[in-house]
């Protein structure tokens, strides 16, 4: 075995190094509160390093094609490392309450990220599955991180149960593919795959497994319970990072391994996208619990993300990556606000807690409004541009069905506008005798909000961001 | 080479952001200083740019080269792309000088004028925003960028007119200005899109060769052949649509109605935006598109001419009857901008081969020249009016009179500016206006004589204003409690500076014109970019000078005395005409009638009904349906993991079955 091939896996290598460093730092910082508190900054530094090295890495492969990266994957890795950075920044105020376990939390984040990186740059179903599991198991720990809260444990239990189940189904699907083609390498699968019922069953079952990770309808049921139960920073992490990684993986595998079956999976995506967007919107309309509400919002956003994959086109990867980037900043802004409100409010996350929020905390409610506008796709915020590119990618092949799906998605943006504005209404218009008291958020929260708001405001109008992604996607 | 020009845009933007975000926490003085200092640096940079551009470079074949130090593709859309950049050519550099000079003067002046006003910091923030947008407009490299900044100057004009927002008239005026100019801009946008669709480019790159007549490819970028093939009327249509937008901004009849009302804003704002810079944007736009006009739409130029002539006459007539001094100046501005429009319009092609003849050169040059001189003396007049208003606390001429004793500096500078606008030799207005009239005479004697007549009216109403303010009966009653006094230094220095420019430019260009020196205005700015020597046509110069002096004498005779028997007799003889002129010939009422009675009642009311009942009803029904559906599927999400697994596997199987069936 040629060990020098490990050098081709730079981002993963950096992450492993980061894990080791954080582990030892945590080990030597034992019981010293001040040192523990600085672990967060160390992790941030590591994530910045990961993001930079990912962005600078050239496309390579290693170990006979089991590990493959493209320029688009590297960009996505950089974006996900950036997203994790935002999560860590916003999580510090919450982690400080569990200082004893701070090291574990940061290590879990780094190890899930490592799993996702593996999954994204896999060239074979084998490495893909390993990466997926490597990302899933630590995530369950993170969901259960608030050990003393019943909901947290319940969310984690549901997550791990459904994850196991979906892994089983997916392995089942992969075994069908193996039976039909005799290989696990994507390139070879592509050459051997046919439209036989065996392959179709393999495709659907494989898709179900990733559909669970992306939380597409009908594989989404765990989402609401887990999002609600998990600590808020973890919910944020689940909703953007985990989803983004799974989405790009699904995109590459469909385009690489299942390219000959494009008609089939296009059709499958049409159904799933329409279901995801519509059903999630219908659920979201009636939610009073903000984290549950954000769960349904994220399901419907997942539908929009998948729209980029439709049509197997050039634009797809770039549109998807851009969408994930914009979604990261907007969603993390919302979760940061939810997090600080929760911290200052005895853990309330229901929508009624936000009534009259504007009277007492005008700046926070303003930033939250901007983020919600971006999620709803109101110009001139970045969300409008990302939706536009996704729609454009969806119809680039000129399929009549695709136009229909995009039309339904468009109608649903109006519905989503309604429920996002419900929160705005609660904050600005609904009068209440006892609004939340005014509070001062800590420095890290401010930094996280500043990063997110800058992203919301600038990623759309600064065309260079999209061009950077598009250049990598083609 | 010109890489520093980016700071001309960035500095005002920066001071806008700083003042906008943190201004309210600053002291008035600090905020004002930040704005003024950044503008001071912009002015210095503009002067350096101009100096380097006009004197530091060699002309190629006698032509000033166009420089594009920055051009950044902002949004690519297939063949079309929206760019943001900086373009330097003679007219944009000339505009840099005008904008930065007047803006700096206004910044300094406002220290005194706005002293102690609530919202002082906000005022300076908006001034910075305006200056940034106006500079962006003139430096635009493409028509789309121009449009963006065009709208931004509209916004800042709206904000500044409505500066005194607790007062009702200010709000009404700002809304009126915004709506009227937006209405016109709609045509501008349609024109831009038409142009972009057929020509495949928004760029100003067409400039170069058509006018200068050296190249063979008219469009460096874009596809003119396609546009011409699509129908010869495409480019003229696009240009005329753009002209409507320009007419709105430049207050051409009948879209002028917003400008007199815009005088509700602070007076320095009127000087900057509504006299010197923003309102000439329409003229600048035509000058920018000039190569296309003369090459592809020479017939359409007569629209520009006649709109200009009508506006010039109308505004001059109205100005003769106004009693509010700022209104007089506003109508005078409208009339003078119309002069510039006419001058551009009369620059008919008539070029031999590809080289423009004198004729086209003259009108274009005269228009730009008048833009330059007018900006200086009209800003001076407005700032002078500001001093007067500051002293007597009113805009009405009836409360003034005899002020020359109290305000010597204001008096002298105002008088000089009046002489300049009247067209007396050795003052700047003479040189430029005379060129305009010469160009008109060459175009058609009818237009030439009409414009001469309007020039005479200009001299008359300006001196009516002058005598009304500084001579005549002093209103002792109004001055009983409060003796008028000269304005502070911060306000008089800008007056003096602008007057010095007016006199200096006037003396130099007058002598240069008679002596036929090179190095006058025409050497720097001309349609072909070549050195154009101005020489006066003696006959026309003499005629217009004599007429201007006669008009001034007439005004002196009627309005100078303590009693004004002739003026009173004129009112008595033509009461209806005076009333109509005072009411601006009922233009506002006509617009009111058209919008309220016809458009609102016949078009908007039925549409509103349809919207309220049919459209809203449909959406309410959909919302109700979505709500009900949301309620009814709630039970799916039971919290039972076993059930989730069932759904999961059912979904997968169902998907498989569907895919197997297709």
> Which residue does chain B place closest to A205, by CA atoms?
B652
Position B321 in a domain: yes
> Does B641 contact A158 at a Cβ distance shorter than 8 Å?
yes
Which site among B659, B660, B661 would you substitute to test the A interface, given the most A Cβ atoms closer than 10 Å to its Cβ? B659
Q: What is the pLDDT of residue B213?
A: 33
Per the domain annotation, does B637 fall within a domain?
A: no
Q: Does A176 touch chain B (CB under 8 A)?
A: no
pLDDT of residue B164 exceeding 70: yes
Same domain, residue pair B593 and B538: no
Q: Given an 8 Å threshold on Cβ–Cβ distance, is B655 in contact with A169?
A: no
* B662 in a structural domain: no
Indicate if the pLDDT at residue A234 is higher than 50: yes
* E strand or H helix that includes residue B124: helix B120-139
Residues B484, B592, single domain; the answer is: no
Q: Is A408 on the interface with B (CB under 8 A)?
A: no
Cross-chain Cβ contact A225/B639 below 8 Å: yes
| Closest CB to A204 among B633, B647, B652 | B652
Q: Could you tell me if B192 and B254 lie in one domain?
A: yes
Q: Which helix (DSSP H) or strand (DSSP E) does residue A67 occupy?
A: strand A67-68
Nearest to B659 among A162, A208, A264 (CB): A264
Give mean pLDDT, residues B567-590.
78
Torsion angle of the four alpha carbons A60, A66, A67, A72, in this order, in degrees rounded to the nearest 10: 80
Question: Does residue B652 form part of some domain?
Answer: no
pLDDT, residue A203, reads 93
Distance CA B327, CA B363 (A): 29
B114-119 average pLDDT score = 84
Question: B162 and B98 share a domain?
Answer: yes
CB spacing of B626 vs A285 below 8 angstroms: yes
Please judge whether A169 and B652 are an interchain contact, meaning their C-beta atoms are less than 8 angstroms apart. yes
Q: Where are the beta strands (DSSP E) in B185-267?
A: none
Give how many domains chain B has, as a whole number. 2
3-state secondary structure of A289: strand
Quick one: pLDDT band at residue B353, thresholds 50, 70, 90? very low
The rounded percent of chain B whose pLDDT value lies above 90 is 25
The verdict on B205 and B110 lying in the same domain is yes
What's the pLDDT score for residue B216? Answer: 33
Query: What are B's interface residues with A at a Cβ cutoff of 8 A?
Result: 73-76, 623, 626-627, 629-631, 633-634, 636-637, 639, 641, 643-645, 647-652, 655-656, 658-660, 662
Question: What is the C-alpha to C-alpha distance for residues B324 and B332, in angstroms, rounded to an integer?
Answer: 12
User: Which range marks the domain in which residue A332 is found?
Assistant: 3-473
pLDDT > 80? residue B92: yes
Same domain, B507 and B434: yes
Per residue in A132-191, pLDDT tens? Answer: 999 999 999 999 988 888 888 888 999 999 999 999 999 999 999 999 999 999 999 999
Find the domain containing B607 and state its range: 577-628
Where a domain ends, among B563, B591, B608?
Answer: B563
Q: How many domains does chain A have?
A: 1
- Angle value at C-alpha B402, between B400 and B403, nearest 5 degrees: 75
| C-beta pairs of A465-471 under 8 Å, 24+ apart in sequence | A465/A322, A465/A325, A466/A318, A466/A322, A466/A385, A466/A389, A468/A75, A469/A72, A469/A75, A469/A318, A469/A321, A469/A322, A469/A325, A470/A315, A470/A318, A470/A322, A471/A71
**Higher model confidence: residue B592 or residue B103?**
B103
- Answer whether A431 touches B (CB < 8 Å): no
Of the candidates B630, B652, B655, which has its C-beta nearest A285's C-beta?
B630
Instruction: Output the pLDDT for position B479.
Output: 65
Whether A159 has its CB under 8 Å from any CB of chain B: the answer is no
CA B313 to chain CA centroid, nearest Å? 19
Residue B318 and residue B387 share a domain:
yes
Shared domain check, B295 and B396: yes
What number is the average pLDDT over the span B280-299?
A: 85
Could you report the per-residue pLDDT of B189-224, keeping only the tens digit for each?
A: 999 988 888 777 787 765 443 333 333 333 444 555
Find the CB nearest A268 among B627, B645, B659: B659
As a whole number, the mean pLDDT across chain B is 83
Which distant-in-sequence residues (6+ apart) come within 8 Å of B659 by Cβ? A200, A203, A204, A264, A267, A268
Over residues A343-362, mean pLDDT: 84
pLDDT tens sequence across A23-70: 998 888 777 777 777 888 999 999 999 999 998 888 888 888 899 998
Binding-face residues of A in 349-388 toward B, CB within 8 A: none
A245 close to B595: Cβ distance less than 8 angstroms? no
Task: Average the pLDDT over each of A375-389, B368-382, B636-650 and give the range with the smallest value.
Answer: B636-650
Kindly state whether residues B259 and B378 are assigned to the same domain: yes
> Which of B76, B637, B660 lies closest to A221 in CB terms?
B637
How far B134 CA lies from chain A's nearest CA (Å)? 21
DSSP summary character for residue A59: P
Q: Pick from A224, A267, A415: which is nearest to B626 by CB?
A: A415
Residues B454, B337, single domain; the answer is: yes
Contact assignment for B626 to A224 by CB distance below 8 Å:
no
> What pLDDT does B219 receive?
41
Which distant-in-sequence residues (6+ apart) come within 8 Å of B30 by Cβ? none
Q: What percent of chain A has pLDDT over 70?
A: 99
Q: Rounded CA gap, A354 and A338, in Å? A: 10
Between residues A314 and B507, the one the model is more confident about: B507
User: Does residue B647 lie in a domain region?
Assistant: no
**Contact yes or no for B68/B76 (Cβ under 8 A):** no
- In this predicted structure, what is the pLDDT of residue A343? 85
When scoring A153, A159, A201, A221 by the number of chain B Cβ atoms within 10 A, the one with the most, hence best to mutate, is A221
Q: Fill in the DSSP letter of residue B519.
A: S
pLDDT at B246 over 80: yes
Q: Is the peptide bond before B394 cis (omega within 30 degrees of 0)?
A: no
Q: Are residues B479 and B593 located together in one domain of the fold? A: no
Environment class of residue B270 by beta-carbon count within 10 Å: exposed (0-12), middle (13-18) or buried (19+)? buried
A212 contacts chain B (CB < 8 A): yes
Residue B220 has what pLDDT? 42
> Is residue A63 classed as helix, strand or coil in its secondary structure?
coil
Between A and B, how many residue pairs show a Cβ–Cβ distance under 8 A?
A: 86
CA distance B196 to chain A (A): 20
Judged by a CB distance cut-off of 8 A, whether residue A259 touches chain B is: no
Residue A237, pLDDT > 90, answer yes
Q: Looking at the structure, do residues B457 and B584 belong to the same domain, yes or no?
A: no
Alpha-carbon distance of A390 to A393, in angstroms, equals: 5
Query: What does the pLDDT average to over B368-396?
Result: 89
**What pTM did the predictor assign?**
0.74
pLDDT at B355 over 50: no
Nearest CA in chain A to B637: A221
């Amino acid at each position: 075995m040629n060990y020098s091939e490990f050098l081709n896996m730079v981002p993963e290598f950096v992450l492993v190094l980061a894990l080791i460093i954080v582990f030892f730092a945590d080990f030597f910082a034992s019981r010293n509160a001040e040192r523990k508190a600085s672990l967060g900054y160390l992790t941030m530094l590591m994530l910045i390093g990961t993001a930079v090295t990912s962005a600078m890495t050239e496309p390579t492969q290693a170990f006979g094609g089991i590990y493959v990266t493209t320029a688009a994957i590297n960009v996505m890795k950089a974006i996900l490392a950036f997203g994790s950075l935002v999560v860590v920044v916003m999580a510090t105020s919450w982690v400080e309450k569990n200082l004893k376990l701070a090291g574990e939390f940061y290590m879990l984040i780094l190890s899930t990220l490592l799993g996702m990186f593996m999954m994204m740059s896999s060239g074979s179903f084998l490495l893909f599955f390993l990466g997926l599991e490597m990302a899933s198991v630590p995530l369950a720990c993170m969901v259960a991180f608030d050990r003393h809260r019943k909901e947290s444990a319940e969310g984690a239990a549901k997550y791990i149960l459904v994850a196991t189940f979906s892994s089983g189904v997916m392995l089942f699907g992969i075994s069908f593919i193996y039976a039909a083609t005799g290989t696990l390498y994507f390139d070879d699968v592509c050459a051997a795959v046919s439209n036989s019922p065996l392959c179709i069953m393999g495709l659907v079952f494989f898709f179900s497994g990733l559909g669970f990770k992306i939380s597409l309808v009908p594989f989404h049921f765990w989402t609401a319970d887990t999002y609600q139960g998990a600590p808020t920073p973890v919910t944020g992490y689940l909703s953007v990072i985990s989803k983004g990684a799974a989405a790009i993986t699904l995109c590459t595998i469909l385009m690489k391994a299942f390219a000959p079956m494009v008609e089939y999976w296009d059709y499958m995506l049409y159904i799933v996208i329409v279901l995801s967007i519509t059903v999630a919107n219908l659920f979201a309309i009636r939610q009073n619990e903000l984290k549950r509400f954000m769960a349904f919002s994220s399901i419907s956003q997942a539908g929009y993300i998948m729209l980029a994959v439709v049509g197997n086109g050039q634009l797809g990867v770039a549109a998807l990556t851009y969408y994930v980037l914009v979604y990261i900043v907007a969603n993390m802004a919302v979760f940061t606000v939810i997090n600080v409100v929760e911290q200052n409010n005895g853990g309330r996350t229901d929508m009624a807690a936000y009534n009259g929020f504007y009277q007492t905390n005008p700046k926070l409610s303003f930033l939250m409004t901007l983020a919600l506008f971006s999620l709803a796709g109101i110009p001139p915020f970045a969300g409008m541009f990302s939706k536009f590119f996704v729609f454009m990618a969806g119809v680039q092949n000129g399929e009549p069905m695709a136009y229909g799906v995009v039309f339904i998605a468009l109608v649903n943006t109006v519905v989503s506008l309604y429920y996002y504005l419900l929160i705005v209404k609660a904050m600005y218009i609904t009068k209440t005798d006892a609004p939340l008291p005014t509070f001062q958020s800590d420095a890290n929260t401010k930094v996280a909000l500043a990063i997110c708001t800058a992203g919301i405001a600038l990623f759309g109008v600064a065309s260079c961001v999209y061009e950077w992604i598009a250049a990598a996607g083609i | 080479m010109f890489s520093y020009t980016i700071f001309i845009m960035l500095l005002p933007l920066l001071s806008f952001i700083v003042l906008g975000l943190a201004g309210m926490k600053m002291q008035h003085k600090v905020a004002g200083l930040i704005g003024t200092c950044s503008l001071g640096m912009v002015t210095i940079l503009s002067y350096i740019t101009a100096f380097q551009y006009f004197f530091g470079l060699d002309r190629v074949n006698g032509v000033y080269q166009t420089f594009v130090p920055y051009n950044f593709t902002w949004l690519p859309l297939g063949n079309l792309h929206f760019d943001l950049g900086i373009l330097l050519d003679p007219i944009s550099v000339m505009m840099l000088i005008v904008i930065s000079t007047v803006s700096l003067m206004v910044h300094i002046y406002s220290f005194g004028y706005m002293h102690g006003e609530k919202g002082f910091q906000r005022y300076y923030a908006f001034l910075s925003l305006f200056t940034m947008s106006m500079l962006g407009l003139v430096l635009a490299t493409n028509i789309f960028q121009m449009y963006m900044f065009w709208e931004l100057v509209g916004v800042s004009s709206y904000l500044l007119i409505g500066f005194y927002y607790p007062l009702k008239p200010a709000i009404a005026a700002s809304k009126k200005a915004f709506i009227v100019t937006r209405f016109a801009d709609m045509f501008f946008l349609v024109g831009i899109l038409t142009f972009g669709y057929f020509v495949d480019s928004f760029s100003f790159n067409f400039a170069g060769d058509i006018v200068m007549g050296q190249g063979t490819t008219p469009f460096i970028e874009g596809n003119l052949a396609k546009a011409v093939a699509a129908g010869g009327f495409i480019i003229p249509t696009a240009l005329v649509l753009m002209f409507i937008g320009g007419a709105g901004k430049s207050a051409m009849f009948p879209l002028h109605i917003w400008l007199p009302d815009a005088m509700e804003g602070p007076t320095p704002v009127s000087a900057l935006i509504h006299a010197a810079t923003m309102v000439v944007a329409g003229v600048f736009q035509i000058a920018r598109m000039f190569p296309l006009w003369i090459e592809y739409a020479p017939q359409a130029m007569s629209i520009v001419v006649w709109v200009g002539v009508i506006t010039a006459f109308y505004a001059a007539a109205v100005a003769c009857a106004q009693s509010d001094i700022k209104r007089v100046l506003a109508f005078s501005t409208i009339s003078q901008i119309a002069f510039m429009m006419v001058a551009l319009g009369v620059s008919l092609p008539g070029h031999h081969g590809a080289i423009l003849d004198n004729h086209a050169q003259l009108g274009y040059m005269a228009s730009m020249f008048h833009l330059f001189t007018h900006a200086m003396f009209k800003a001076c007049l407005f700032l002078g009016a500001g001093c007067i208003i500051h002293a007597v606390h009113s805009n009405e001429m009836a409360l003034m009179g005899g002020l020359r004793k109290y305000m010597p500096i204001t008096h002298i500078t105002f008088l000089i500016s009046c002489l300049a606008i009247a067209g007396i030799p050795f003052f700047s207005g003479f040189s430029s206006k005379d060129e305009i009239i010469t160009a008109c005479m060459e175009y058609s004697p009818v237009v030439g004589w009409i414009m001469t007549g309007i020039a005479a009216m200009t001299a008359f109403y300006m001196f009516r204003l002058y005598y009304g303010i500084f001579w005549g009966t002093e209103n002792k009653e109004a001055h009983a409690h409060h003796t008028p006094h000269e304005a502070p230094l911060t306000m008089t220095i800008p007056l003096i500076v602008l007057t010095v420019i007016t006199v200096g430019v006037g003396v130099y260009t007058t002598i240069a014109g008679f002596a036929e020196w090179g190095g006058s205005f025409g050497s720097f700015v001309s349609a072909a970019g070549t050195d154009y020597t101005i020489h006066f046509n003696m006959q026309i110069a003499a005629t217009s000078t004599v007429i201007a002096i006669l008009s001034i004498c007439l005004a002196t005779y009627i309005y100078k005395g303590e009693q004004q028997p002739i003026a009173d007799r004129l009112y008595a003889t033509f009461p209806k005409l005076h009333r109509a002129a005072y009411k601006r010939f009922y233009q506002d009422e006509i617009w009111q009638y058209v919008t309220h009675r016809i458009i609102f009642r016949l078009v908007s009311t039925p549409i509103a009904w349809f919207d309220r009942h049919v459209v809203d009803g449909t959406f309410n029904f959909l919302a109700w349906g979505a709500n009900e559906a949301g309620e009814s599927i709630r039970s799916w999400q039971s919290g039972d993991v076993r059930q989730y697994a069932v759904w999961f596997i059912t979904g997968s199987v169902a998907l498989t079955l569907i895919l197997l069936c297709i």
